[in-house]
Amino acid sequence: MSARTWLGFLGPSLSLLVLIACSANGAGSAAPPESDTAPTTPAPPVVDAGPVKVDASPAIDASSPPPKPKNDCKLPDLPAIADVTPAFVTIAPPSVSVPVMSGGTLNGQYLVDAATVYLPSGTAGLADPQRSTGTVNAWAIFDGTNYRIHLKASFVIASVAGPQMQGADSASQGGFTVSGAALTLDHACDTVIPDEADYSFTDMGSGRTTILIKTPSPYGDTYLELDATKM
């Protein structure tokens, strides 16, 4: 039995012990008899608290709309682009390692034309990257400090337990910041915040950029490498 299960049983047990203890204390001690003569207590002096102060601060209008994000969530969609077929590999250093991002500049419209899925090293012997398949459709806009990203991915991971379906369907927009190779998105325009992920990138020059998305899993971190061309 796990520690959490034990704590689940202990909670009601402790509550029951407290109730029994309180009942026992109440039954074992009788209330003292009331005295025939009530003690005389002098009345407290009257204290002048002065005039009542009224808060003159203006009332907050709860109906006022929240402040709008910096870009007002109006970066345009990009035209439909073709799906790409990703490569699948299992992380196995030093022969198969996740590329290290180096940062640079993000500015413009980017279309993803190649992708690689890096399965965690903990899936070795459980997942077969050679027989795994999938599609990726993705693009991104970076304009000043604003961004818009579209990512739709569908994966079928071949495993010892049979095909495992995984995927993502994300449309995000808001503000972004860059610190070295790290890319931080504030999701200011998103009604639903996506699952936990870390973003980094490399501006390779000549209109090419790589964005790396890292997500945790029970077997280790999974990486999705998106290689894009600048329009």
Q: CA–CA separation, 185 vs 36, rounded Å?
A: 76
Q: What is the pLDDT of residues 4-13, one digit of tens each?
A: 222 222 223 2
Check residue 23 and give its pLDDT: 32
Better pLDDT: 200 or 67: 200
Structure tokens at 19: 């109730």
pLDDT bin (cut points 50, 70, 90) of residue 105 is very high
Check residue 174 and give its pLDDT: 94
Cβ–Cβ contacts within 10 Å for residue 89, how many? 19
Where residue 122 falls (left for φ over 0; alpha for ψ -120 to 50; beta otherwise) is alpha
Check residue 69 and give its pLDDT: 59
Mean pLDDT, the chain, whole residue set: 78
Check residue 40 and give its pLDDT: 54
CA 79 distance to own-chain centroid? 29
Give the predicted TM-score (pTM) of the model: 0.69
pLDDT bin (cut points 50, 70, 90) of residue 68 is low
pLDDT bin (cut points 50, 70, 90) of residue 179 is very high
Q: CA–CA separation, 74 vs 212, rounded Å?
A: 25
Average pLDDT estimate for 178-189: 95
Better pLDDT: 130 or 51: 130
Cβ–Cβ contacts within 10 Å for residue 71, how many? 18
171 has a pLDDT exceeding 80: yes
pLDDT bin (cut points 50, 70, 90) of residue 221 is very high
Name 121's Cβ contacts closer than 8 Å, sequence gap at least 6. 90, 91, 92, 93, 219, 220
Q: CA–CA separation, 112 vs 205, rounded Å?
A: 15
Check residue 26 and give its pLDDT: 41
Name 90's Cβ contacts closer than 8 Å, sequence gap at least 6. 96, 118, 119, 120, 121, 123, 124, 127, 129
Check residue 116 and give its pLDDT: 98
